[in-house]
Structure 1
């Protein structure tokens, strides 16, 4: 008997203007001990499907077709009362969400949050028993120094550790079904492998069924038994994972499996000028102060880092979570304080006047990892993209700004007719193009790209990478590309810096780093990426 049977699932989302058919006639089954992967681009319906299984979709805007059915051990989930669902969720069925920092309560110690998950479903357990159970689970997911970390808060952990804590909360009641919705998106390649190895180890110990929702086909191929490929709310291909990967039949599956092209880069000019030079950059975080406010304990996030970025060059910075790569990027953008020298076009940034610094902000732009959180939900995309123009070109008329925005939308392959829409009306890939449009409308000389493709499926990643490459060639842009996705770094970068624990452990041109790495840490990163 199957543990879970989803039959003819049709999910409708009601908006102010229309009813959206988000999931169409979806059917699949999973048995105990199996791992089923559901893959597809942003907006394909994979997360809506998983939320429907857990009955976590808002009831006021959701409806199902009359023949929709979700059977868990032959019991119909769609007709269960809220009380019965609460007994089921977190006990027999559990879910790990994509972003642990938004799923954990920032005001409660992590131990208390894990223990709470046990206490809710085991009222017969004493408080000391639930605490002991929580400690055991945190040890099981390999949180170091558990007794000390038990009373620490979420912000005191790395991304990989937070995801392990989420797994501990999910498995504390030994569920029969675990749904993992993009559990490794924000993690570096070695931590991704550790998290999924851990999930499979727990699966073998507990006999759980796992539904793995992901856009990362590399992980899906390695960790799942069966796969369903979703597009526009429908399953367009299904089968044993290796069969689908070795012999895809649907055009969309073939598109998802297309590797990022490696012939995009055009070599930079031999005599290209240096745009940014960093010399002996140090960045420290104050962990503890004494009674008089002086630093008592420091964390050395970046240690003695030097680099050059030439006009038209892309410098890739890679490393595990906590390696210091994003911290270095923020220092370059003058968001964080640092010690050392940073020069832009030969001028020391720290010695610039207020007027010169304002002008520099136009020439240095940033594209963030999560476009949804970096775009204001209250502004139209036209207002978002034009915002920089109002600051740096106050003499422009409203009509001129609008025309410039429409032209920039075309540059990033979006229709100018979308100018009055809001961010929530776009897919993940489209939102990232809006973020790129906001950066390039000021015609900068340098753009910092901080994990701009990590939350995107492979086909959308290719679109964004090709767009960035085209814009670079057209405008002579210089990029620093921070990422844990080595395939994207390989496709875009001229030179690469590898960071670990705040230090540069290896640097060189992209070919040398990816085809002949010297440092054991670099070799481990590349091996984990299956490049």
Structure 2
């Protein structure tokens, strides 16, 4: 059969009447091909992906999603269209070609729609979907049992899947102890366990450091090629789309801007970016002093873990200080001690309030509490209240007593600070978090921190889910807020381009120690050199 496996034809999806989330999208994906959907946050990528998946409440307003498949007339097993005329692996009947109007079948609750739905696997961004308290292999085994895989072959199949994603050495480790990249690969193995025809990857490396992202990309490319899967990747990172897909579309404000070779589409996206002016400030008055700081943990499976090892440096008042390093370097543990969330095992952290130095090792409102009330953090795993509108999420963070109209004005000011324009603010201010994109939620979470007007702002992976265009807007937002509000910023990130653009100084952390500190260009070039040597050694 020469017909494409997936056909998206004039597809429009609408959640608010008269405001289509995506509009008249059309493209085709061949059997065994890889296809990318590229666009900035809010462009409609996730809506399109969920409609293709068959997710509830994503039914097309107009247009169709067609799957050309081979169907068993006896047991409704689904295979690629090229298998039509061959024997069904489940019941030995002859597979028949069929063109499926997917959403029509979904509405009628037909058996073939459920069979097709079960052969589409999806890996969502940020939601790892993995049971942290279970060993990695057990997570895979649970999936295999759910799809009625032969009991005697489950252990062998689970080990093979973990080997395919380069996690065989982690099979018996608890899933919660994996790094971000390892969790992503484990979830990929769980998706492969379902034996999909279509694998949808939603931002597969958006929250990973560049080195880890390369590993995840390599694993995905090799597995998809070896197993002959059809891959659909949605991303706001042009590099991810270029590396993982052969052709792609570029979405902008819910409409298809262009379609073609993935490298060309990625370049079109990059062409829209403006150059960032590097403007670094020299600050000399210490605000935070970290002196020979240590943090150790004990786990029953790994024993004593030294997350932070004799770290010392200062953060100066008014500067934007960055801490870079791969996942598991100890960055988050250090920050948690700095803001009083975790106990300091050994050493000292002092924060200057007025003319006095507050010891963050001493608990209580009259001790470290004097400093923490001037410090705000946006965690990597941030959360907005799903049952509140965007406006209520923002004004709910304001602790001072003031008229409601003043709170609303502060909410608008905070959203402008993260580079939403007035039209965008009017459009989203009364929406709920689940009805906007992940990137938009991330920027609103930053705005929720800024609305409190803290003196010290800690941002843990502030661009983890932001597209390159939004990343530039965040750079401008942070610098503008620093200037207007006289704030000091401490930023943790693996996004090295972002750190070069935004930071005055940087430190490189690896295996719990500070390897280098100083000019961001020098530190990050050293970081890249170290990781390049590791990559050469590993191969």
Counterpart of 2:13 in structure 1 is 12
Give the superposition deviation at 1:167: 1.4
Aligned pairs for 1:436-447 (under 5 A) are: 436-447=446-457
CA contact (8 A) 2:318 2:486 kept: yes
- Which of 391, 414, 431 lines up with 2:441 in the alignment? 431
Whole-angstrom distance in 2 between the partners of 1:443 and 1:245: 37
Give the superposition deviation at 1:450: 0.7
Instruction: Give the secondary-structure state (helix, strand or coil) at the position aligned to 1:148.
Output: coil
Counterpart of 1:99 in structure 2 is 126
Report which stretch shifted further, 381-390 or 203-212: 381-390
CA contact (8 A) 1:314 1:495 kept: yes
Report which stretch shifted further, 232-241 or 342-351: 342-351
Counterpart of 1:168 in structure 2 is 189
Whole-angstrom distance in 2 between the partners of 1:518 and 1:89: 44
- Which of 298, 302, 310 lines up with 1:286 in the alignment? 298
Counterpart of 1:254 in structure 2 is 271
Give the superposition deviation at 1:278: 0.7
Whole-angstrom distance in 2 between the partners of 1:120 and 1:381: 38
- Which of 169, 176, 184 lines up with 1:145 in the alignment? 169
Whole-angstrom distance in 2 between the partners of 1:147 and 1:459: 38
What TM-score do the two structures reach when normalised by structure 2?
0.82
What TM-score do the two structures reach when normalised by structure 1?
0.83
- Which of 59, 62, 65 lines up with 1:65 in the alignment? 62
| 1:343-374 alpha-carbon deviations (Å, 9 max, x no partner) | 1124323347524544423321112335xx42
| 1:419-470 alpha-carbon deviations (Å, 9 max, x no partner) | 6654445544543443333323343221111111110111111111111111
Instruction: Give the secondary-structure state (helix, strand or coil) at the position aligned to 2:219.
Output: helix
Report which stretch shifted further, 30-39 or 442-451: 30-39
CA contact (8 A) 1:46 1:230 kept: yes
Whole-angstrom distance in 2 between the partners of 1:11 and 1:448: 40
Counterpart of 1:210 in structure 2 is 231
Structure 2 residue 154 is matched with structure 1 residue 130: yes
Whole-angstrom distance in 1 between the partners of 2:407 and 2:199: 50
Give the superposition deviation at 1:9: 4.2
Aligned pairs for 1:152-301 (under 5 A) are: 152=174, 154-172=175-193, 174-246=195-267, 248=268, 254-255=271-272, 258=273, 261-269=275-283, 272-288=284-300, 297-301=303-307
Whole-angstrom distance in 2 between the partners of 1:383 and 1:78: 35
CA contact (8 A) 1:505 1:519 kept: no
Whole-angstrom distance in 1 between the partners of 2:123 and 2:391: 35
Counterpart of 2:317 in structure 1 is 311
Aligned pairs for 1:470-481 (under 5 A) are: 470-481=480-491
Whole-angstrom distance in 1 between the partners of 2:229 and 2:412: 51
Whole-angstrom distance in 2 between the partners of 1:6 and 1:214: 20
In structure 2, the CA distance between the partners of 1:421 and 1:47, relative to structure 1 (3 Å rule), is: closer
RMSD: 3.1
Instruction: Give the secondary-structure state (helix, strand or coil) at the position aligned to 1:184.
Output: coil
In structure 2, the CA distance between the partners of 1:212 and 1:433, relative to structure 1 (3 Å rule), is: closer
CA contact (8 A) 1:382 1:419 kept: yes
Instruction: Give the secondary-structure state (helix, strand or coil) at the position aligned to 1:487.
Output: helix
In structure 2, the CA distance between the partners of 1:109 and 1:20, relative to structure 1 (3 Å rule), is: farther
Instruction: Give the secondary-structure state (helix, strand or coil) at the position aligned to 2:361.
Output: helix
Aligned pairs for 1:277-426 (under 5 A) are: 277-288=289-300, 297-338=303-344, 339-345=346-352, 346-351=357-362, 354-355=365-366, 357-370=368-381, 373-390=382-399, 393=400, 401=407, 404-405=410-411, 407-414=413-420, 415=422, 422-424=432-434, 426=436
- Which of 103, 110, 128 lines up with 1:78 in the alignment? 103
CA contact (8 A) 1:9 1:64 kept: no
CA contact (8 A) 2:43 2:252 kept: yes
Whole-angstrom distance in 1 between the partners of 2:395 and 2:170: 49
| 1:377-426 alpha-carbon deviations (Å, 9 max, x no partner) | 23444444344542xx46x5666555555554554455586766544455
Instruction: Give the secondary-structure state (helix, strand or coil) at the position aligned to 2:163.
Output: helix
CA contact (8 A) 1:9 1:23 kept: no
Give the superposition deviation at 1:281: 1.3
Whole-angstrom distance in 2 between the partners of 1:332 and 1:409: 28
Give the aligned length.
495
CA contact (8 A) 1:3 1:32 kept: yes
In structure 2, the CA distance between the partners of 1:524 and 1:421, relative to structure 1 (3 Å rule), is: farther
In structure 2, the CA distance between the partners of 1:104 and 1:9, relative to structure 1 (3 Å rule), is: farther
Whole-angstrom distance in 2 between the partners of 1:526 and 1:231: 36
Instruction: Give the secondary-structure state (helix, strand or coil) at the position aligned to 1:78.
Output: helix
Instruction: Give the secondary-structure state (helix, strand or coil) at the position aligned to 2:508.
Output: strand
Whole-angstrom distance in 1 between the partners of 2:63 and 2:392: 42
